[in-house]
Amino acid sequence: MLFLNPEILLHHRSGIFGTHFSFSRQTLRNNGFKFLYYGKQPDLARGALCIIIFLSSRIKVMNVNLMRRIDKILGIPLCRILSIWHRFRLLFIRSRPFPPPRRILFMEMSEMGSMVLAYSMLMKTRTMFPGSKFYFLTFKNHRSAVDILNVIPENQVITINPSTPWKFIQTTFTAIRTMRRIRLDSAVDMELFSRYSAALSYLSGARCRVGYYQYHQEGLYRGHFLTHPVQFNCHLHISRNLLALAEALSPEPKERPLLKKAVSEKDIKRPRFRATQQEKENIYKKIKRDYERFDGSQTLVLLNPNAGDIVPLRKWPLLRYGQLGRLILNHPGVLILVTGTSSEKTQTEDLVAKINSPRCINFAGRTDFRELMVLYDTADILITNDSGPAHFSTMTGIRTFVLFGPETPDLYGPLGSRSRVFYSGLACSPCVSAFNHRRTPCRNNRCLKVISADTVYREIKNRLPGKNQHLESRHD
């Protein structure tokens, strides 16, 4: 019965923990073992939960695989308990029609690039329900991706810190309290079959809950408490799948499966980012510190050899990036910047060493997120793995070339006409999807290795300085 009333879990000094309980680690440990060995049956439940939280505080790093295991091992029973409680409550609650939403929560946790693909959904919802207030729930390290869209007010973004299990638990409870205090009427869960986000949508207190539902697809259980369950269509681009969530907010959920309506291509929109002249000059100064001969006239080519931790197999081999970099530098007037985060510096240094030219600079960790967007709006070409930069770059005028392998561009390809994707289409690809929670037995990403540096170079060489230079406007 621990999770039947969400309010019980939200008070640090009352409820299941007793009137004098606090979240200190020592108290968790001492009270936990005391409840386990000396308590009655209700105290056993309290003690077990205390020990679970205490043990989580001892784990220092929260990685993707750990989060997947937590989502499966704890998420499935939690969603089942919430489903039982939901059906029990329905026995005593009179059915009422859903009014037009006025306070809508959008939830996206896993990938930053999905924020760009969700822009169309946010704009469609604003058109459908003018005057409604938007809130957004995401992980703390993805906050900048929400802010750059310039759709959700800063004080209406709720964050959860996943850096350690201890902070993850603490900030999850804080987020639930915040959501319930807002008195949301609608929650839109944009995650693909995550039990964690499904549980949060229910615990948020929103009466209308929209999200993807498994129907007859086995292994994707996430409870039965969605009021507007939408069928995920693996044959539609993710931006159109997200638009279906917005459309599902409107009607009464009388038919199954939702959404029984075509999603129009004309509703697909891209957010735009335009750097100020001062921001561009600041980026020029940073580049000039590493390459004194830079004067703004060079063609800037960005290489992003990273792909995040969710699907590491999305990385094109560094050897290929090195070969491509050397081919690009055969053109005079080109400067290569290798981008990435501070934690990726070792990998970017290896790539710079492979290219081995003073015109190739390691720029990893040199920018914050907004400065990276300014760099995209300043540079000419980006070559990247299938990752967040492939989508954020479409907000600017840069020409983007994206390498796909374990996932399909039909579902996750970047928007806009200034992007070109490379995809080998092997019979085993795509091997990761929403249906296997992006896990694969593959340890050899041949789908990317078969894409040669020459193949990519042939596509970009006419956009580099030289006798065959292709001149074009930066913005379409």
**pLDDT digits over 76-113, tens only?**
899 999 999 999 998 888 878 888 899 999 999 878 88
pTM of the model: 0.84
SS3 content of the chain, % helix, strand, coil (to 5): 45, 15, 40
User: What are the φ and ψ backbone dihedral angles of 93, each rounded to 5 degrees?
Assistant: -115, 130
| Distance, CA of 294 to CA of 279 (rounded, Å) | 17
What token pair was written down for 409? 């561009």
pLDDT at 427 over 80: yes
User: How large is the C-alpha radius of gyration of the chain?
Assistant: 24
Do the domains at 95-267 and 277-463 have one common CATH topology? yes
pLDDT at 202: 95
Please report which confidence band the pLDDT of residue 397 belongs to, taking 50, 70 and 90 as the band edges. very high
The count of residues in the chain is: 476
pLDDT at 109: 87
What token pair was written down for 382? 């980006």
pLDDT at 47 over 60: no
pLDDT at 32: 45
pLDDT-above-70 percentage for the chain: 83
Please report which confidence band the pLDDT of residue 210 belongs to, taking 50, 70 and 90 as the band edges. very high
Mean pLDDT of 172-186: 95
pLDDT at 389: 94
Please report which confidence band the pLDDT of residue 448 belongs to, taking 50, 70 and 90 as the band edges. very high
- Looking at per-residue confidence, does 126 or 57 come out higher? 126
pLDDT in tens, 128-169: 999 999 999 999 999 999 999 999 999 999 999 988 888 888
Mean pLDDT of 60-87: 84
Sheet with strand 228-231: strands edge to edge = 157-160, 133-139, 103-107, 186-189, 208-213, 228-231
pLDDT at 311 over 80: no
Q: Where are the domains of the chain?
A: 6-58, 95-267, 277-463
What token pair was written down for 121? 């959904």
pLDDT at 39 over 80: no
pLDDT at 29: 47
Please report which confidence band the pLDDT of residue 6 belongs to, taking 50, 70 and 90 as the band edges. very low
User: What are the φ and ψ backbone dihedral angles of 404, each rounded to 5 degrees?
Assistant: -110, 150
pLDDT at 190 over 90: yes
277-463: what fold? Rossmann fold (3.40.50)
Query: What is the Cβ-side half-sphere exposure of residue 239, based on CA atoms within 13 angstroms?
Result: 24
| Distance, CA of 122 to CA of 132 (rounded, Å) | 11
pLDDT at 261 over 60: yes
| Distance, CA of 289 to CA of 284 (rounded, Å) | 9
Mean pLDDT of 109-134: 92
416 within 8 A of 476, measured Cβ to Cβ: yes
**Domain 95-267 grouped into CATH 3.40.50.2000:** yes
